[in-house]
Structures are given as structure tokens and as C-alpha cells.
Amino acid sequence: MNYDLVLCGVGGQGVLSIAWVIDHAVHEAGLHFKQSEVHGMAQRGGAVSAFVRISDQPVASDLIATGAASMVLSMEPMEALRYTQLLRPDGWIVSDVTPLENDAYPKHDALYKVLFSAPRLVVLDATRLAHKAGTVKAQNMVVLGAAASQLPLPTELLEAQVQELFASKGERIVKANISAFRIGAAASAFATALLAAGVPSTVLARVLPLLAFEPQPVPQAGVDAWCRRLLATDGAQTALRLFEAGVTLSPESLPA
């Protein structure tokens, strides 16, 4: 088993905290890993990245070759696109949809057009969902939770390491980060079910960031209802209309 993972984002978004959780979960699972990281500009709001290579055999190098990564896990949409050349053809992108803009940032429409064309994609408003969980700083744990089902690690092992990471911060912070992780996991399970049912990624990507997930799975009835709505003849137009309106929705209630 070999699993190459790219973590990326901007300084202050907690990319290296995600790496800490994954690294410790890998160790607890008895697997091998190597990690490299770049964070020299983090304090200036610059890019931060880490390569994590996981295997059941000793890992010789911490570098990920072009076309070898199983996942790009990103805290920011433009950073996700920066590393797409490293993805395998069947690789996943999991990303927060909220841009952290600078002077050279592309227009949002152009950015989303490219990002949303990825065939295996989970995008969500991790910033808003983290606030719902109890602290906006848990944005990184929302994204990690959304990636967890695709990682070669038991979800409960990752959650245990989330608890360990924040144990010194007090019970409130631990609970908020665990809640954020579970909210991300619920979003991912919902997305995976809709993709498996045939909902196009480009359609789902415009709906998923609008949904206010809870820290438990969406009931099957809600999943089925969204599948029917987005697979309808006007499903793509509905998704675009909702995305442009930017209204927060419950995953258990359908728009008119």
C-alpha cells in the first residue's frame, strides 16, 4: 500500500496541524511515512505545504512525483489548483472553497470554473462550518474530516489524534475541533453518496459549500432527495442558481 498526500494552504490556516494529526495516526496504525514541508513564508501569509507519503513498507523519499498523489487536501482553492499536476488520474481534491485573496488573485468565476471541473472533488465552506462547530480556527479540522474517508487510516484513529492535539487547550476547544472534524466527515459522506449516484462533480461542487452540515451523517432520505433534485433535467441550473444566490441551506431540506 502506498498513499501520497499533498497538504497545502496559507500561513495561519493550520496545514501543519493537519500533518501532525495524520502523522501520529499513521504511527499508531503501525504504518511507515515520510513528510516534507515548506513554511518559510507562513508568518507573512505565504504558501504552506507538506508532502506526506504513507506506506506499509519503509518510505525512501519524501518527494511526490508528478501524477502520483492520491489526494490534494487544501485549505484554500487557489492553493489546491497549484498542486493538481501531482494528482493521479483517480486522485481526489478536498478543499475549502473560501479564497484568501492577494493582489494577483484570479477572478472567482474563473477559479471556480477550473476547480469545479475536477472529477473527484469535495469542496465546502470550511470557515463557516468551523464557526458552526464552535471556533473558526477549526477550519482545518473540517477539511481533515472531509478527507478522512479517503485516507488509508481508521477515522476513529484520526479523531483520537485530533483530541490529543488539542487536549492542552481545554475541553471546549477539544469539543469544537472534534465537532468540526465530524461535520467535515458528514459533508464528505454526503458528497461521496451523490457522486456515486451519478450527480456530476461540477453540479455537486456548487451545492456542497452552501449546506450547513451537522456533526453526524445526513439521513438517507435527505441524500436521496438531493440526488433526485440534482439528477433532474434542470439540476445543473438549480445548482448554479443556488451557488450564485449564496444562501445557506440545510442538507435535509430542498430548495423550491
- What pLDDT does residue 43 have? 53
Compute the average pLDDT of residues 208-224.
94
Is residue 255 a part of any domain in this protein? no
- The CATH number of the domain holding residue 35 is 3.40.920.10
Kindly state whether residue 253 falls inside one of the protein's structural domains.
no
Do the domain assignments include residue 106? yes
Is 251 within a domain?
no
- Label residue 104 by pLDDT band (50, 70, 90): confident
Instruction: Tell me what percent of the residues of the chain surpass a pLDDT of 70.
Output: 95
Q: Within a domain: residue 159?
A: yes
- The mean predicted confidence, pLDDT, of the chain is 90
pLDDT at 37: 67
- Rounded to an integer, the average pLDDT of 192-199 is 94
Tally of domains in the chain: 1
Counting residues of the chain whose pLDDT is more than 90, the rounded percentage is 73
**Does residue 214 form part of some domain?**
yes
Q: Please, which contacts does 125-132 make with residues 24 or more away whose CB atoms are closer than 8 Å?
A: 125/96, 125/97, 125/98, 125/209, 125/210, 126/75, 126/96, 126/97, 126/98, 126/184, 127/96, 127/98, 128/98, 128/212, 128/248, 129/180, 129/183, 129/184, 129/187, 129/212, 129/213, 130/180, 132/183, 132/212
Residue 46 reports pLDDT greater than 90: no
User: What is the mean predicted confidence (pLDDT) over 161-179?
Assistant: 95
Model-level pTM? 0.92
Q: Is residue 43 part of a domain?
A: yes
Task: Assess whether pLDDT exceeds 60 at residue 68.
Answer: yes
Structural domain that includes position 132: 2-245
Residue 254 resides in a domain: no
